[in-house]
A and B are shown apart, each in its own frame.
Chain A
Amino acid sequence: MKNKTIILSLFGAVVLLSAMVGPAYQVGDAVSDFTLKNVDGKMISLSDYKSSKGVIVIFDCNTCPYSQAYNDRIVQLNKNYASKGYPVITINANNPEISPGDSFQAMVTQAKEKRYDFPYLVDETQKVARTFGATNTPHVFVLRNEGGNFKVVYIGTIDNNSRDGSAATKKYVEDAVNELLANKEVTTSKTKAIGCGIKWKNS
């Protein structure tokens, strides 16, 4: 019990530390390429998407109630925008030792059950999540492809009603991508939402 307390406290300290240090992309920043393993076992890189107009990167997980609430909306985002040049990539960075429901096997099951037709990548070292500055799940980063360089154009939440998508009055990600597709600048490029903190490792 005492050990558990120490481990959990350490975890808390690391969360604090990681929130204070580490790089974090801001709107306008260029994104470095990354390569992560998908639920089908294949490696996927951001650079694989160099022929698309952009990408909707979502830091997500199996276990967070907000992630679960947004699951169908994420599937729908890919259905609506992959064919228009903005496919979805989801990334799970949760440490499965702290959150066993986010193990690779559990991710495989989730992708199958929810019929993901987009990548669900595991960020085992959590480097990608840290580089992006992802803090909670789901945390969206819309990237625009500018001649092979991906730049951040939107950071935040999917819409303004986690409980009920049909009651949302602001659909931030849809609006941002629609504006990009119409060659307009993104009106709302940064939003915040209550979410589950990413379960970071202790080192």
Chain B
Amino acid sequence: MLRVLFLLLLCTSALAQEAKVIKFNRLERIITTKSEKIQVINFWATWCAPCVHELPYFQKLEEKRDPEVEITLINLDYADKLYKVNAFIKKNKITSTVLLLDEIDYNSWIDKVDPSWGGAIPGTLFINTTTGQRKFVDGELEEGELEAFIKEVKSSN
């Protein structure tokens, strides 16, 4: 009985999605690589209340499985809090890709994401990598805005 339980636990933990710790070059690749999909990149942390508030909008969109949209959640908790991030992902059943950006020298990369970004989270970058059209939203998104901004970078070229 215990053995079955153990195996079951092993299976579920293997299925649960976990955050991967990355450096900035990985994020830069997502921003710059030409792709058919609109890249939606959200910057958040587990302790940030407005970030946590808007995350369900991203999950809802993820569940629509739109082949033209790719969501990446860039987590900014400290790397030694990875366990906390993974527990959050599990609890909130997040299925989008979560990458923990382990780059403490913030000033070295914030402008590379978008020069208009002051550094406060949440922030969300929408990019049409084929046309170069982009939009950075500094602050919390309202319901429906995700779709509107995707449409905006999709159409204008």
Q: Do A and B form a real pair?
A: yes
Instruction: Tell me the minimal C-beta distance from B16 to chain A in angstroms.
Output: 25
Contact A160 B139 (CB under 8 A): no
**A196 in contact with B121 given A8-B50, A8-B53 (CB within 8 Å):** yes
Report the stretch among B33-41, B90-98, B102-110 that lies at the interface.
Answer: B102-110
Contact A15 B140 (CB under 8 A): yes
Instruction: Tell me the minimal C-beta distance from B105 to chain A in angstroms.
Output: 5
Contact A12 B106 (CB under 8 A): no
Q: How far is the CA of A157 from the CA of B53 in the complex (A)?
A: 26
| A–B complex contacts, Cβ < 8 Å, 15 sampled | A8-B140, A11-B50, A11-B140, A136-B119, A156-B107, A162-B106, A169-B105, A170-B105, A192-B111, A192-B119, A193-B110, A196-B120, A197-B120, A197-B122, A197-B139
Residue B138 interfacial (CB < 8 Å): yes
Q: Is the interface of A mostly helix, strand, loop or mixed?
A: mixed
B interface list, Cβ under 8 A from A: 43, 45, 47-48, 50, 53-54, 76, 78, 104-108, 110-111, 117-122, 137-143
Instruction: Tell me the minimal C-beta distance from A141 to chain B in angstroms.
Output: 13
Q: How far is the CA of A169 from the CA of B111 in the complex (A)?
A: 19
Instruction: Tell me the minimal C-beta distance from A92 to chain B in angstroms.
Output: 16
Interface residues on A, range: 20 to 34
Beta-carbon contacts of A140-179 to B below 8 Å, as 1s and 0s?
0000000000000000110011110000011010000000
Instruction: Give 16 new A-B contacts, CB below 8 A, not counting A172-B107, A195-B119.
Output: A5-B143, A12-B50, A16-B137, A16-B138, A135-B119, A135-B120, A136-B118, A160-B105, A160-B106, A161-B104, A163-B78, A170-B107, A192-B106, A192-B118, A194-B119, A197-B120
Instruction: Tell me the minimal C-beta distance from A25 to chain B in angstroms.
Output: 13
Beta-carbon contacts of A176-197 to B below 8 Å, as 1s and 0s?
0000000000000001111111
Residue A13 interfacial (CB < 8 Å): yes
Contact B107 A13 (CB under 8 A): no
Q: How far is the CA of A93 from the CA of B54 in the complex (A)?
A: 23
Residue A43 interfacial (CB < 8 Å): no
The interface residues of chain A lying within 8 Å CB-to-CB of B47 are 65
The interface residues of chain B lying within 8 Å CB-to-CB of A163 are 78, 104
Contact A197 B78 (CB under 8 A): no
Contact B142 A157 (CB under 8 A): no
Residue A35 interfacial (CB < 8 Å): no
Taking CB as reference atom, which chain A residue is nearest B119? Answer: A192
**A9 in contact with B143 given A136-B119, A192-B119 (CB within 8 Å):** yes
Instruction: Give which listed residue, B48, B78, B118, contacts A135 with CB less than 8 A.
Output: B118
Taking CB as reference atom, which chain A residue is nearest B111? Answer: A192
Instruction: Give which listed residue, B50, B104, B120, contacts A195 with CB less than 8 A.
Output: B120
Instruction: Tell me the minimal C-beta distance from B53 to chain A in angstroms.
Output: 6
Contact A194 B110 (CB under 8 A): yes
Instruction: Give which listed residue, B43, B105, B140, contacts A12 with CB less than 8 A.
Output: B140
Taking CB as reference atom, which chain B residue is nearest A14? Answer: B139
Contact A157 B138 (CB under 8 A): no
